[in-house]
Structure 1
Amino acid sequence: MVTRLTLCEETTMHDHRKLGRELGLFDTDPLMGAGLPYWLPEGAAVRHALEEYIRDAERRAGYQHVYSPVLGKRELYEISGHWSHYSEDMFPPMDLGGEQVVLRPSLCPHHALIYRSRAHSYRELPLRMAELGGMYRSELSGVLGGLTRVRAIQLNDAHIFCTLDQAADEARAALELIRRAYGALGIRPARYRLSLPGAGGKYVADPEMWRRAAALLRDVLDASGVPYDAVEGEAAFYGPKIDVQIANGAGREATLSTVQVDFHQPERFDLHYIGPDGAKHRPVMVHRSVIGSVERAVAHLIEVHGGAFPAWLAPTQLVVLPVSEAESGRADSLRRRCVAQGLRAEVAGPERGTLGARVRAARLVPYQAVIGAKEADGDQVALRLRDGRRLDALPAAEVLSRIGALVAAHSTELWETEVLV
């Protein structure tokens, strides 16, 4: 059941801007510019694991992945409606060979063109197109901060081209993908929001389109059984959306995931498919993002977990701790076996201090594999879990197999409880 974060939970969250730098996940430089963070090796490992997870989840759900350029002609965004409704948040056009090109503020116009490039039959629908792609927003300096509000965004985006009869099922399936992803990430929503248009000229003027799209999303939310708030003034300029809200330690909300229904852009780009009657029909475009921007997702993960990420996301998943120099060779052999199995592992040898000091230094690493003389002789590992629990010495092959299985399953558990001592 979805509930709001309690005050106690909120106040125990960390500030990702401070902790992310302390842990060596990301940083900034004035010469790169405000709102343009760079990722350090530890942060890049987290980001890579997150991106691989969502790509695999989408592939299993029937999505096809594409790549599209981060630039487009100004005319493209005039057709989509971004130029007239969203240009204040876009970077200025660049003159290039007598044309004006723009850094894209979203991926949807590009995906509409990719769909339009081929003829489609109703038998192909729904066509699910996904991309982890860059987009750019001309955010004011005063609102930029850490990873939550940036100017260069890596977005987990997708667009489903479908019939009207398929749209509700596709939106519900997108919500289920979001639910499963939050479970694997160890996070939960603050609330669900049905974002509707407000007053003013920032929205496409088509009352009947808005009514149909909003009714569809209300039915999806009601059928999904999640409580939600309907809020005016938060819709995209082209249609209403379901926003999955998260909250930071101060209780400040932000949108992480979203599902949108769009009747506008299929019309603007003259998209169609051939129906069973042999005639052209207009598809519905369902926009959805499971984890939103990679930047905002990682910021929230840092704040929720305090750097103690689920094992499958952790920058270093296992650290090998030889008790003395005599076990260093065996420790490095175990590290190489971990890497060969796809785990991120390193050795923290005696040169880094006493065993106790090394254990404390690796407090955020999910697994600490201690190797003394007895373990080295028997090819065993005395495993310490991040939460302080210890296991009796086990064969190294069994330890790696069981850790590998938990990581592959994207589990938030560190170990199967029946083997703990």
Structure 2
Amino acid sequence: MDPDHSTVGRALDLFDTTPAVGAGLPLWLPDGAVVRAELERFALEQALASGCRRVYTPVLAKRELFERSGHWDKFSADMWPEMVVGGESFVLRPANCPHHTQVFAARPHSHRDLPVRLAELGAMFRSELSGVLGGLSRVRQINLDDAHSFCRPDQVVAEVRLALDAIRHCYAVLGIEVGRFRLSVRGPGGRYLGDDEQWRTAEAQLREALDDAGLAYEVAPGEAAFYGPKIDVQVTDRRGREETLSTVQVDSNQPERFGLTYVGADGRKHRPVMVHRGLLSSMERLTAILLESSAGRLPTWLTPVQVRVLPVGEQHAGPGRELAAELTAAGIRAVVDERGSLPSRVREAHERRDAYVAVLGDAEVAAGSVAVSAPGLPSRAVLPRAELRRRLAEEVTDRRRERAVAAGR
């Protein structure tokens, strides 16, 4: 199978597009929805572990919100056309951060409250031209794992370090190799918000965080966001193309533009700094990278069908359904396949990239065991049913990258 993620994703029934919906607007099919939901759950766990609180905000807002944030002036050509309703102009958001400024502004804050960390896996919209759209890597709606920390100036470096540590942990779990860390700063001729002192301070804070973490990095003039410098985590796909997956950005401009404040220890109002964090990037881009790097053979915790139960004959169908029910009750995604010959069902399990195949014949039913194999690997084992449940639950809970159950590990 061609390892291009678009070919793999369609062959495995993970996603598709239709003319009726439109290019760049993929439909996540049931198996693809499983993959995305697991990634979203992982992202939320990591956000909560790093002190974030979850929020939900609308996918559209008045145009004036984005005028105030600077997005309209910078990105209006790439945003969807405004919609006039009741004499008011609304637009689909190109970013979550303006909404999160309003969440912070909704309640007063003391210096003791900070940092206030907000996380949302929200939909954002880009009016991409049809000629550049493709699969999941370039789409018109992205669903971004996004977080924003509103903190005191003396907390910025620690917040950036927290984000970098979380990114590196997630990459280790997912098996993603960092190509390089890039410090993206202003370049000549660009249109940027804020004054020189704000930029010098923000760049120094990012450098300090990278140095504290012991990370080598390259400086990239002209690659900064329009409101602040950022750290880009660059990865390389199987064709050698480099792209940004995760980012950490320091922003003093949006807090200023929206008049955000907190009460300091001196009783006066002070301006917070906003640290933007894209931990896992968009679900679309991340899924594309994972599919291509694995040729569709995802780790067990991400695989849509974790166990395909194959009764050898009709007389084994009842015990096969019982096993599938036991696994499902234990939180394992299991299906029973009774169609056709055993070799054809095994072959289909290989083609579908199922994590494990569990075969039940006379010997297994009599012994209360199951013959387990991992398609694509030489792993084989005969296990008691209870032991299979236990090992599978551990592998999924631990989010192991390797198939360990059939190998006895």
Tell me the TM-score normalized by structure 2: 0.96
Aligned partner of 1:103 among 77, 86, 92: 92
Which residue of structure 1 lines up, in the alignment, with residue 225 of structure 2?
236
Deviation at 1:400, TM superposition (A): 0.9
Structure 1 CA distance for aligned equivalents of residues 162 and 53 of structure 2: 16
SS at match of 1:244: strand
Structure 1 CA distance for aligned equivalents of residues 319 and 185 of structure 2: 61
Which residue of structure 1 lines up, in the alignment, with residue 349 of structure 2?
362
Structure 1 CA distance for aligned equivalents of residues 246 and 238 of structure 2: 19
Q: Judge which range, 303-312 or 374-383, deviates more.
A: 374-383
Q: Aligned AA for 1:22? A: A
Q: Aligned AA for 1:360? A: R
Deviation at 1:418, TM superposition (A): 7.6
Q: Deviations over 1:238-288 (max 9, x none)?
A: 001111112222211111111000011010111111111111111110000
Q: Aligned AA for 1:157? A: D
Which residue of structure 2 lines up, in the alignment, with residue 374 of structure 1?
363
Which residue of structure 2 lines up, in the alignment, with residue 324 of structure 1?
313
Deviation at 1:377, TM superposition (A): 2.1
SS at match of 1:290: strand
Question: CA RMSD for the aligned pairs?
Answer: 1.6
Which residue of structure 2 lines up, in the alignment, with residue 7 of structure 1?
none
Q: Aligned AA for 1:46? A: V
Structure 2 CA distance for aligned equivalents of residues 359 and 180 of structure 1: 35
Q: Deviations over 1:161-214 (max 9, x none)?
A: 111111111111111111111122121122211111222243225221111111
SS at match of 1:246: strand
Structure 1 CA distance for aligned equivalents of residues 299 and 407 of structure 2: 20
Q: How does 1:99-178 map to 2 (within 5 A)?
A: 99-178=88-167
Q: Aligned AA for 1:294? A: M
Q: Judge which range, 100-109 or 213-222, deviates more.
A: 213-222
Which residue of structure 2 lines up, in the alignment, with residue 41 of structure 1?
30
Structure 2 CA distance for aligned equivalents of residues 103 and 301 of structure 1: 28
Which residue of structure 2 lines up, in the alignment, with residue 413 of structure 1?
402
Structure 1 unaligned blocks of 5 or more: 1-11
Structure 2 CA distance for aligned equivalents of residues 228 and 416 of structure 1: 39
SS at match of 2:119: strand
Aligned partner of 2:68 among 71, 79, 86: 79
SS at match of 1:236: coil
Structure 2 unaligned blocks of 5 or more: none
Structure 2 CA distance for aligned equivalents of residues 392 and 146 of structure 1: 38
Which residue of structure 1 lines up, in the alignment, with residue 7 of structure 2?
18
Q: Deviations over 1:86-123 (max 9, x none)?
A: 21211111111111000000000000000000001111
Equivalent residues of 1:186, 1:310 under 8 A apart = no
Q: Judge which range, 151-160 or 219-228, deviates more.
A: 219-228
Equivalent residues of 1:85, 1:203 under 8 A apart = no
User: How many residues of Structure 1 are paired with residues of Structure 2 in the alignment?
Assistant: 407
Deviation at 1:127, TM superposition (A): 1.1
Which residue of structure 1 lines up, in the alignment, with residue 170 of structure 2?
181
Equivalent residues of 1:13, 1:304 under 8 A apart = no
Structure 2 CA distance for aligned equivalents of residues 258 and 352 of structure 1: 49
Q: How does 1:55-94 map to 2 (within 5 A)?
A: 55-94=44-83
SS at match of 1:397: helix
Equivalent residues of 1:316, 1:344 under 8 A apart = yes
Which residue of structure 2 lines up, in the alignment, with residue 277 of structure 1?
266
Structure 1 CA distance for aligned equivalents of residues 406 and 86 of structure 2: 65
Structure 2 CA distance for aligned equivalents of residues 206 and 251 of structure 1: 37
1:292 equivalent to 2:281? Answer: yes
Structure 1 CA distance for aligned equivalents of residues 184 and 340 of structure 2: 53
Structure 2 CA distance for aligned equivalents of residues 219 and 60 of structure 1: 23
Which residue of structure 1 lines up, in the alignment, with residue 247 of structure 2?
258
Shift of the 32–378 alpha-carbon distance from structure 1 to 2, 3 Å rule, reads same
SS at match of 1:352: coil
Deviation at 1:417, TM superposition (A): 8.9
Which residue of structure 2 lines up, in the alignment, with residue 352 of structure 1?
340
Q: Deviations over 1:277-334 (max 9, x none)?
A: 1111111100001111000000111100111001100111111111111111111111
Which residue of structure 1 lines up, in the alignment, with residue 199 of structure 2?
210
